[in-house]
Structures are given as C-alpha cells and as structure tokens.
Amino acid sequence: MESIKGWLTTIDGELLAMFGTKLGIALIILIVGRWLAKGVLAFITRTMNKRQVDSLLTDFVTRILSVALLLVVVLTAVAYVGIDITPLMVLLGGSALAIGLALQSSLSNFASGMMLVAFRPFTKGHYVEAGGVGGTVTKVSMFNTELVTPDNRHITVPNSAITSATITNYSAHDTRRIDMVIGVHYNDDLKLARDTITGVLSAHPKVLTEPEPQILVLDLADSSVNIAARPWVESGDYWVVRSELLEQIKVALEAAGCSIPYPQRDFHLHQIVEKADD
C-alpha cells in the first residue's frame, strides 16, 4: 500500500507539473497573441490611413478584426492546454444561433452597419438627417451611429433606423445653394428691387460667382410679389451667410424705398338700406 501510495503521489506530481507547464505556456500564448493582434491591427490601420480609406470604414474593420483575432488567440491557448475545442465550437455555434434568434434587431443593426460602411452615404464630420434626427456624424459602430446636434446633444441612432429611411447628407458636396424668397409690395419697382438684391449678393465676400446667383420673380402672391434669390456658397458657410444675406437684403430694400409687406386682406363692406313702408 505504501508503494502504491508513493507511486500515485509521483504520478500526480508529474501530471500537475505537466499541466502547470502547459498552463504557463497557454498564458504566454494569450499575452503574445494579444500583442501580435494589436500589432496586426495597428499595421492594418496605418495601411488604410496611408491609402486614405474612409475613417469610418477603418474604425469598423478594426473593431471586427479585434474581436475575431482575440477569439482565435483564446481558442489557440485553450487547445494547447489539451482541452478539446470541438465541443466548445459546437457550443459557440449553438449559442450563436440562439443569440441570433433572440437578438434579431441587433443583427439587423449589424447588417445595416455593414451597409453603411460599404456604401458610405456619409462619413465622419458630415452633417446629415437620418433616422428622424439631424446632426454631425462622429462614429459608426457595429450597431449604432452617433451624431452630435448643433446645440451639442449626443444622439445614438440604431443603424437599421438609418438604412430603412431617407438619408439627407448636407455635407456631401463642397457647395450648397441658398434658397431665399423675398416679398416686395405690388407698388414697388421690381427692377429696382432685383438690382438691390443683386448688389447685396455681389458685395458679400462668401457668395460664389460660379455658379452665378439667380434672381427671378417667383410668384405673384396674395400680399406681395415674391422674388427668389439663389446664391451659391461653401457648404460650411451656409447658415452664417444665409442669416447675413437676409438681414442685408432687408436693410438694402428699405434704403432703396422698397417695402416688405405684411400679409393683408381688403374687406369691402356694403350697407343695405331698407326703405321704410309708407
């Protein structure tokens, strides 16, 4: 019995030592694997940046690769210890199926994120209206898109809500046209009004000469003659220039003797006088 006990103790010690060695090597695999994965991700990021790949696409790809590489490193370490990873892979597959059925909306958001990255209707820094909200795009993740509104609110929109609706990108092009409608009185000189508006547009330093601004009579409305003023500006100057032009046009028209009428109606009252009976 003593001999058998000693033999068992020896075997256990050897097995423990062997397992401890494998466990230590597996830990080294985890550390080195994570270091190599970070190096691979850094290399891919540098390569994509050098080739001027869209920043949203770069972020999206690196996020997916980081998860995939980490999973490979963990499975490699587990397999080296001697644990059969086949049941683990089956378990992961079954879990993925169950999770996929339970999280269909999340998978829809993920697929929509892939579409946003692939087709790129917008990129980081663009001002868009999407998913029922408007703001500047800061990040497109696997499931959500993050926007910042002009009043500095942070909005997170599910990707599926963006791809399932209309996307309006106000920053897609370098220039934008400002559409303004200015009403003048019917008694005003239309040529004088048009020349005055043209002078204001020509004097503004941020109004582009190409394409040439358009000044045209748009409508004979109920209370005014509406003149359309359509200058072109850089996209980033749109709101500032629009505000300045509206103010300057009003001041210039009043100085020229033109007026911007209020909506008004004329009522004519007819009095009916009944003759008294004799």
Domains of the chain, CATH where assigned? 2-102 (1.10.287.1260), 112-169 (2.30.30.60), 175-255 (3.30.70.100)
Which helix (DSSP H) or strand (DSSP E) does residue 227 occupy?
Answer: strand 225-230
Residues in the chain: 278
Placement of tokens 């917008």 in the chain: 122
> Counting beta carbons within 10 angstroms of the beta carbon of residue 163, is it exposed (0 to 12), middle (13 to 18) or buried (19 or more)?
buried
Placement of tokens 């850089």 in the chain: 234
3-class state of residue 235 by DSSP:
helix
Cβ atoms within 10 Å of 58's Cβ, excluding its own: 19
**Are 59 and 42 a contacting pair, CB within 8 Å?**
no
pLDDT reported for residue 93: 64
Q: Which residues of the chain are under the pLDDT cut of 50?
A: 3-4, 6-8, 11, 101-102
157: nearest Cα among 185, 136, 133, 178: 133
Token output for 230? 């359509």
Cα 84-89-91 angle, rounded to 5 deg: 105
Q: Answer positive or negative: Cα dihedral of 251, 253, 258, 262.
A: negative
Cα 267-272-274 angle, rounded to 5 deg: 170
pLDDT reported for residue 100: 52
pLDDT reported for residue 85: 59
pLDDT reported for residue 4: 44
pLDDT reported for residue 254: 92
